[in-house]
Amino acid sequence: MSPKTFNLPHSRLIRIWHWLTFLVMVFSLFSVLIGNVILKPNVISPMVQENLQHSGVQISEKQAHGVAHEIKDIIWTWHKIIGYGLGLLLIFRFFIEFAQSKEERMAVRIQNAKIGLKDPSLDTNDLKHFIWVNRAYVLFFLLLSFMAITGLGMAYEDDVPWLDHIKKLNHNLHGLGQYAMYAYLLIHVTGVVISDMTKHKGLVSGMINGNS
């Protein structure tokens, strides 16, 4: 099979969506890292207390812990805003799928690859790889939808009574989805880099300039 299997042209809308989503997800990852690791209240509250004492302000350990929580809440507010952004990008992606030409739709490309499996002159291993990669994209969109739904549940759990009743479950599910998302991103980036350096050169540049 020709390397064009993976080096198919991408519309401008798809390329813009891809890189915007990548950047937003990186910001989301950093907000989680900062909120859960760097700015943990039990880690930074002693630092808050010590710095204020150097400035001549005496506060209790409980007060320092409260200040630390306020700082962490600011980070999670930004994480929530980023989450809204991801949700909008997800909706936008569905619109793009049906707005672009038929040949560029994911379902059509998968179907064309399946038809190509019947052609003995083509590299069936490459076609199967292409099909599975695109199926993984579908799983990514489902995972992103799951994260958006559970994230909205967390955002409105204090305003909607029934969401408050499943708060713990929702937080746990969102956390599990988060790790699944990180795993997918790691596999995706690694796979793209390896493919771009070996069999499918120009894969990354194609997602930037749209050329196949």
Compute CA distances 19 → 40, 75, 95, 127, 154, whole Å: 30, 23, 17, 25, 26
Q: What is the DSSP letter of 117?
A: T
| pLDDT digit string, tens, across residues 18-72 | 999 999 999 998 888 888 877 777 778 888 788 888 888 788 878 877 887 888 8
Residue 141 lies in a domain: yes
- Structurally, the chain folds into a number of domains equal to 2
pLDDT at 170 over 60: yes
Token pair belonging to 47: 């630092």
Domain boundary residue, one of 82, 101, 120: 101
> Is 64 or 74 the better-scoring residue by pLDDT?
74
- Tell me the CB-side half-sphere exposure of residue 117, using CA atoms within 13 A: 12
> Is 182 or 211 the better-scoring residue by pLDDT?
182
Token pair belonging to 78: 């930004």
Mean of the pLDDT values across residues 100-116?
83
Fill in the amino acid letter for 79. H
Residue 1 lies in a domain: no
Fill in the amino acid letter for 9. P
Considering the domain architecture, whether residues 139 and 181 belong to the same structural domain is answered as: yes
Percent of the chain with pLDDT over 70: 95
**d(C-alpha 73, C-alpha 80), whole Å:** 10
Residue 4's pLDDT is 52
The whole model's pTM is what?
0.80
**d(C-alpha 188, C-alpha 191), whole Å:** 5
By residue range, what is the domain housing residue 159? 105-212
Residue 126's pLDDT is 81
